[in-house]
Amino acid sequence: MPLALQVHDEEDLSVISAHLQDAVGVVGDMTYLPKQRRFALVVNRFVWLEGQKEGKKKGLFADRRPHRVRTGLHFDGVEAVKVKNLSPTEKDAAFELLAIRFENAGGSDDPSGTIELDFAGIGTLRLEVECIEGMLQDMGEPYPVKSKPRHPASG
């Protein structure tokens, strides 16, 4: 079943971040539309959740292979985008998304702040937003891949 999640607060954002950990894509699949105040990207999301019942894999994961799925993510109310160590002109440059975080601009009554997307080894994207508002949507069926992402053990 395709994943579709709305994002309205920091808790939602942490759920989105978990689902998009190790998503891969290319810079050309990101865009900022200043007139619409929308930032959007398309990635190949690793499907971390597996369908299991009573110890046996069912349905999509019956063959035990890892899967990815093409997924879109957008944020609305984006006032500015700042890029660090990531060249928007290198459209074919590949990236791996590690995490998405929110930094509040003011007090607890102020919903504005910065949504930060951290990419493995290549940089950071900072979205200045009036509030957290967005959506994650799978755009097709999961497809099998050769391996799942590996993370080195920390010291």
Q: SS3 for 124?
A: strand
How far apart CA 114 and CA 102 sit, in angstroms, is 6
Instruction: Please name the residue that has the structure tokens 């940089």.
Output: 123
Q: Report the predicted TM-score, pTM, of the whole model to 2 decimal places.
A: 0.85
As a whole number of angstroms, the distance between CA 93 and CA 115 comes to 22
> Residues 3-24: what's their mean pLDDT?
95
More confident residue, 84 or 136: 136
Long-range contacts of 101-108 (CB under 8 A, 24+ apart): 101/13, 101/17, 102/10, 102/13, 102/132
pLDDT cut 90: percent of the chain above it: 61
Percent of the chain that is helix, strand, coil (3-state, to 5): 10, 50, 40
77 pLDDT more than 80? yes
